[in-house]
Amino acid sequence: MQVTAAVVAGLAFLVQGTASAIAALAGGLVVAIGTSVLALRVFAPALAGPGVTVVRFAVGTLLKWLVVLVGLYLIFAYWKLPPLPAFIGVVAALLVNLVALKFER
């Protein structure tokens, strides 16, 4: 769902130009990659007790945000893409989680 949100954000910014569209897409994809890292850290190893699971989740969350921050650094400093579309891509991908949680209730 986060990748879909990133693609939609990228397509929405296509009217402002290719750089804005790529920035929005990249911002959303950075969050999707970070979430994948979190999921792999928590769920890929064998099931364990609650203490181990909490530690895995904490480390996975730290790794997720490290991926997001490094990705944003690359978007802004290395590729020099527009910041506003990138932030909107990030927010769109993060909001998907909140929407998904609301539907699960």
Return the domain boundaries, the chain. 2-104
User: For the residues 46-54, what does the mean pLDDT come to?
Assistant: 89
User: For the residues 40-62, what does the mean pLDDT come to?
Assistant: 92
Across 1-5, 16-20, 48-52, 70-74, least confident range: 48-52
What 8-state DSSP symbol labels residue 3?
H
pLDDT at 105: 60
Report whether pLDDT(6) > 90. yes
Show Cβ contacts of residue 22 under 8 Å, excluding neighbours closer than 6 positions.
10, 81
C-alpha–C-alpha distance, residues 62 and 55, integer Å:
11
User: For the residues 27-43, what does the mean pLDDT come to?
Assistant: 96
Report whether pLDDT(41) > 80. yes
Q: What is the mean pLDDT of the chain?
A: 95
What 8-state DSSP symbol labels residue 90?
H
User: For the residues 10-25, what does the mean pLDDT come to?
Assistant: 98
What 8-state DSSP symbol labels residue 16?
G
C-alpha–C-alpha distance, residues 97 and 31, integer Å:
11
pTM score, whole prediction: 0.91
Report whether pLDDT(104) > 80. no
